[in-house]
Every structure is written in C-alpha cells, then in structure tokens.
Amino acid sequence: MSAVEAKLAELGLSLPAVAAPLASYVPAVRSGSYVYTAGQLPLVEGKLGLTGKVGAEVTADEAKELARICALNALAAVKSVIGDLDRIVRVVKVVGFVASAPDFTGQPGVVNGTSELLGEVLGDKGIHARSAVGVAVLPLDAPVEVEIQVEVAD
C-alpha cells in the first residue's frame, strides 16, 4: 500500500474504482510530467447521492462533502495512469464547478472540500492553485464537478 493510500485509510477513506466516462473521453491523461483528469463527479458506486443546485436543493455543507468525493475520484483517475500515488510531486491546479442557484456565491467554500482533502492526504504536495466556478447545470444534474492537474515523478 502506498503512503498516500495509507493516509487515506488512516482518515477512514479509500480510493474508489475509477468512474466510467459518461461520453467520449478517458478519466485521466498523462502528458510529460503532468496528469490531467477529466471532470470528476461525486459518484459513489456509479451513483450520485444528491442532485440539484447548491443554494437550492443542496446545501453548501452537503456540496462541500460531495467535493471531497470528487477529489477521491480524481485521485483514483490519477492512480489509473501512474499506478502509485506516491509518485505525485504536487497538485498543481484544481478546478471546481458548482451548479449554483442564481443567488449562491459560496463556490469557494464548496470547492474547499476538494482542497482540504488533498491537503489532508498529500500534505504540502496537496497545496495548489485553484478556480471555483459557478455554473447553471452539470452532467447528470450533479451539484459539483472537479478536475485536477498533478505533477508526477518518473
């Protein structure tokens, strides 16, 4: 077990199976020293636990937890490309999309679910640049979608 997966286990978490793509793409791609993930939804065993807009049908706290699930799915996608998460040098960028009610402005707090999980699991390697974007709707009516870019060692 990698040190990263041991840390996940210490937190009571584990990597899920890589989420199957919903269309014509792959979950993650390596280019040089970087791995880019596709947008990861908060799927658990292939299903969304909640749907709808944050600030309407979904609370900000619920969405923050969903963003943690997105982070786990993103790490699983990275592992599918590099084999061992201990090869992560650092998380470079996180982009979080939040399906938002028209008056909801708490997107950064929602995407903190991803950022905080990456920090808990990867320590200083998890510190990253980030965007948190409010959108009208996401695939499957998901409240949150996250993509990450990581630098990896050979």
pLDDT in tens, 52-66: 999 999 999 999 999
Q: What's the confidence (pLDDT) of residue 5?
A: 94
Percent of the chain with pLDDT over 90: 95
Mean pLDDT, rounded, for 135-153: 98
Name the β-bridge partners of 152: 88
What pLDDT does residue 20 have?
A: 87
In sequence order, which ranges of the chain are alpha helices (DSSP H)? 3-10, 60-82, 107-122
Between 13-22, 25-34, 103-112, 141-150, the lowest mean confidence (pLDDT) is in 13-22
pLDDT of residue 46: 92
pLDDT over 90 at 22, yes or no: no
- Per-residue pLDDT averaged across 9-13, rounded? 96
Going by C-alpha positions, the residue among 29, 32, 53, 77 that lies closest to residue 135 is: 53
pTM of the model: 0.97
Instruction: Reply yes or no on whether the pLDDT at 121 is more than 90.
Output: yes
**34-37 and 43-44 beta bridge pairing:** unpaired
CB atoms under 10 Å from CB of 118, counted, come to 26
